[in-house]
Structure 1
Amino acid sequence: MTGSPGDGGLLPRCLAMIFNSIGPFQAKRFVFKLDDKNGVDVQSEVEALLERQRREALPTPKTPAGKRQLDPEFADMIDAQDRCRAEEVDEDNVYGVFVSYIEIYNNYIYDLLEEAPCDSIKPKPPQSKILREDQNHNMYVMGCTEVEVKSTEEAFEVFWRGQKKRRIANTQLNRESSRSHSVFIIKLAQAPLDADGDNVLQEKEQITLSQLSLVDLAGSERTNRTKAEGNRLREAGNINQSLMTLRTCIEVLRENQLYGTNKMVPYRDSKLTHLFKNYFDGEGKVRMIVCVNPKAEDYEESLVNSLFPFPPALLFLFFPGFLYSKRFFHGPASFPLEFSHPADGFSHPTGPEEPSPAELFFQSFPPLPSCELLDINDDQTLPKLIEALEQRHKMRQMLAEEFAKNVLAFKTMLQEFDSSVASKENYIQGKLAEKEKTITGQRSELERLEKKIKTLEYKIEILEKTATIYEEDKRNLQQELESKSQKLQRQASDKRRLEARLQGMVAETSLKWEKECMQNKLWVKDEKLKQLKAIVTEPRAERPERPSREREREKALPRSVSPSPAPAAPVAPLRPRRSRSAGERWVDHRPPSHVPTETLLQPRVPRAITVEAPSERALARCDRYLLTHQELASDGEIQTKLIKGDVFKTRGGGQAVQFTDIETLKQESPTGRKRRSSPPDPDPAGDAADSEWTDVETR
């Protein structure tokens, strides 16, 4: 397929034909873009430019097509001359070429252009690909690498890169034997230009996609000649099985075309025939080139290989020096195949015609003497002629008798042969009937399996769609989770700021409250100091004599005038108090804000139910109510009030409390009291008056 140095093969010639024809009409790179479903889309100029810039930014070095340095291994196989081109090329269209290269190894499909990750410690084996059917019912390899190329050299370089990955092995007959079938696929995309001829129309319906597949089939092998063992034996079995499936498909197609039958073609028996199912069904053309070896020891294999692309009706083989013809099956001799060996200088015979069997038969008779009579008295010519004719007559009778015997023997042989053929035909008919039943069962099983495969493919498609939906939901949920986590983080930060702010406000409030308490204390002390100063600075009068007690007793005390009677206030009706000996129960209501004091006198109520908030249930079980209330006095000390009341039932069936009296508990500092002492000097001097007060609280 690649040819030899100096003489390019089928592949370089096909590539040269394509690029010589569409060279000036090629679209810019990445204008055409293949999708994952065996289709093609058209990108705008801006999108193609961005794609080119992105590819150029990659670290892989790119060599321009005009300055490409060819590999010396295949440089001689490419002919740069423009000798072949297509004449009728539409100039109002643009074209793009894509190539891909796959191999079918042990009935598995592998991508030869796939870049596997480099791992010298544990190399990853290549992954097999699967066949899919697109919306136009064309078969394609899913996930196959397709490269856009712009020249014959670039396309052949891509082919050569994949050719190095192809599986080959050493056998007894071939040092580099192909162990797989390779398929080099060339796709040609064609799209029309707009009315101005500047831009490509981005209508998918206007795009035409053509495909050329060049297949290099591995040769059939005989184990007794190749001495294959282990993996080589398994590879040879898969190769022969795929070739046999290909031959079976061709024979069934030919039978359906000749006799109008509708037999099922077993495409699915092999990945090779399944891939090219559309070509055999009439949506393409198939051409097969058979390579045979002229050696005599390879005659049988050459004969078997020659039966692949042609109907096995009549096969003619031309060899130097003789003509060999053999009929394999009964039927019309259509599509004769002629093999010649130009190396031996032999072609169709053009020399003198060979004598026919009749001429050879007449030449075996004795020759006739001359019949010319030159003299009337000639008595020798006629006797010689009569003798020759008699000899010929005797020979003719002998030949006739021998021919009659041969005819009888041949008739007997034919009768025996007919009887044997009839018996064999009956036997074959029975076998064929059994085979037909087996084939019918297998066909029904295949139809069932095909339906099952279609159902599974449909389920797989549904699962893929479901997985896509789940992936989108997962992404949406992840985005929502991220947004909520960000919101929670913002709320936590706001909460921390608010807590810090509240702590600051609490500290500020407590400081303010302490400041106000200090100011109140200072104000009280200032007032006291002012009063003391007023008393101290007041002018003193003469101190009267202190009367003795006897004089005081003697003096009659004047009766004070009684005040005028005040208007009598309405007296509240007295309520009957319950006896304390009757076992009273109290509700001790202490709010949660109650601050414990360290005083010796603590309110202690026997048989009390302590609550933080009064409830109807607690009031119904008790007779008395006690509320403990704390407040700040004017001197800054805590003052506790015990508010007592009676509990009684209301007309509506509820509980009410009527307060009766209040008890006050107050804690004072002893340093705040004023004590007066007797002065030793009664001199009322202004400066000495300050010494009369011995215990005065100062700031």
Structure 2
Amino acid sequence: MKPFRPKTPGKLTKQNSKENIVKDPVQVYCRVRWTQEIDVNSCMRVVSPTCICLTPPENYRGTNYKPINYSFREVFTQDGTQHDVFNKVGLPLVENLIKGKSGLLFTYGVTGSGKTFTMTGEPSNAGIMPRCLDVIFRTIDTVQARRFVFTPDKMNMFEIQGDAEAALQRQQHLHKMTTRSTRKNNSNPDLALSDSNSSKLQGIDEDCLYAVFVTYIEIYNNNVYDLLEEGTLGRKSPQTKIVREDAMHNMYVHGVTEVEVKTREEALEAFYKGLKRKRMAHTSLNAESSRSHSVFTIRLVQAPVDSMGENIVQDKKNIVIRQLSLVDLAGSERTSRTNNTGQRLREAGNINNSLMTLRACLEALRENQQVGGISRIVPYRDAKITHLFKNFFDGDGQVRMIVCANPSCEDYDETLQVMRFAEVAMEVEVSRPRALIDIGAGMTPGRRKANLLFKQAREKILSDGRSEANNLEVDLALVYSLGGDFPSLELGTTQAEETIKKLVTHLELRLQRRKALLRDKAVRDDKFRSRLDELMKGNLMAGSEVATIRAQLMQERQRSQALEGRLMTAENIAADLRRRLTDLEKNCDNLQQELSDKDMKLNQKTMEKENQKRRYSQKIASERDKLETALKVKMWEEKHKNQKVIEDKEKRMRLAQEILSNGQGVPMQDEVDSKPLMSERSNDILSTPVATPNTLHPSRRGVAVSNPRHRRSLSADGTNTKERWIEHLPNQYVPTGTAFKLLLPRKKSLNRVINIKDITNSKVSNYCLISQEQDTDGELEMKVFKGNVVPTCSGGAQVQFNDVEMLKQMGPLATPGKKREGCETPMKRLQGENQWKKPRV
């Protein structure tokens, strides 16, 4: 038969009904700290082994308060030793751990009340935690699994490794340990703990192998930190951890370091390694005050061995995990006494908030059990310390608490609050689900011990020089046999008396073994009968539950039939909607096809317009070239004609100078003939307009008078005020004052068309493009291309040019063939005449 092995505790199920749930109260103990003060300064008095009396000091808050009695499960006086505290509080938790029940132990009290001393102790006086480790390793000494057989899976569970993988990790661990300093510091007082008087506990399953894993965390400012994480020593800001829920709905710290330990010394070494990283600080109340809650967890992992009693069964489902969490809470303190500031004040505030959350959770649990149901939400998530141990308060283990009290009158206020908290905690009952019983057909009990005895016997035979022992195989059935084979029964020989004696001895041994087996059988029958009774009860309960489930099943079937009818109706509606959707998709495809056809036509029209625009542009360019060629020819003819006139005048001037130099008073005929011409020329010069009225060019015959009638382009008269023009100027526009300026009443001047809306505007009707160049004589020549803005069918616009103006500026005394000496450059020339020609396009 397969023995009973408790599984990892989980949530309550329907099988654990209210009448089968066993409730255990939170066991609260009180330990009074030893003090050297006289009784006058003490506010606490032990009345009985389970009661203390708290008396307020004199003139407390100006009124007389009466003494208050508080009861506990047991009160440890100042004479109580660490051994007494462990036997009453810690040892039962270790026994439950061996039997498959998890446990939680708190130490609670004000700062400096002895919490850390009770939990850890001193090198010469061990506390609860070292003594728990000592008892555990003494109990599982002969049934420990080899290192690295169990490995954490980072999800609060464990996996079983094969022999090859475990051996490889053991070799790597050994190499890592040898590379470090192998010299052990025996003078270290942290590890030199005194041996306790603990003994081995009963109830261990010898057909299983065990392994112990430890974790050490602290909760500082409501953040969880791993004290055993590699590389965190010396790091300024260690990484925070997250509290999560595993597949069995148990809370755990994700990513925490779990160290496998094989002895008490290894566990204590890991503990003191994390203790060096724990946050401690000096306050006015305590020289070494804990500024965080520390949680040291001992996890016991158990798995059965195979039928031969040698190796662990490679099945993750057979692993049993339970844990013992030892919590050293930080002390509650008041700012008025500690005078903390800065970081210490923030730490004290977070400590007090977490302790208040713990008290609120206990009060909520007490109210819920008083009303007989869950009527109030327990605020586990308000603090990490309560969120981490939510499963214990929900019924997954036993909870115990040690209240450490300081009898000093100075701590009366804080001690009063601690006693009230303990009073609330004692009234809370934690439900404990009934453990499941596994009575399925299993392997033979005692197989591991029988295999061990068989190997020892075979080694002894081999040591005697008998080689036939190599062929022997273990038979676990021998454990329950009445003995070996009967001796020879031949009585006709001379050794008949000796044979009878051997037979009598053999029969006596068989009778003794038979009586022992009958006694064992009776015990097993009683156990089997009790388990069978429990199974029958469970079967009856299961039958009632099955009947209930069948009734629910009938209701669900009726409901499913109704839902099937609704489903058929919905499917019909869905089919109609699918048909409509198909029709709409077809219409959509047709519309998309029409849209694509129209897009193709539109693209064709756009291409035709682009081609037409290109042809018009080429035609305009050719016409512009022709006009420019004709203008150049006319300019050259005019220049040649003016040159001839100037040469003729120069001849006459030379003739007049010769006459004057000869002293003749009578003018020559050429001179007489030239006077009307000179007079005519003078009138032409006087009638020549000046480019800028502010800068007049002096001449020998008087000042030139500007004529406004010849200052502007003849075509840009500005008579039509409804037209709106776009005046496109060159990037480097030479200002010409008013000589070439077009009179456009409504216009918009720009150098570059950036926004196409400037052209496609419905209010724009005309467009002029201005080009400035320098002719062959260095004079400024400006061309104005005019056109109409015509909108297109695609929403754009095109310009159709219909007129070209060429405006040229010349000096009043300049000749067509020769540049006048001292004439300004085109950029500075502001005087001159405005000649224009308007060819037709």
- TM-score bucket of the superposed structures, by smaller chain: 0.3 to 0.5
Higher relative contact order (CA 8 A, sep 6+): 2
TM-score w.r.t. the length of structure 1 is: 0.42
TM-score w.r.t. the length of structure 2 is: 0.35
Kindly name which structure, 1 or 2, has the bigger radius of gyration based on alpha carbons.
1
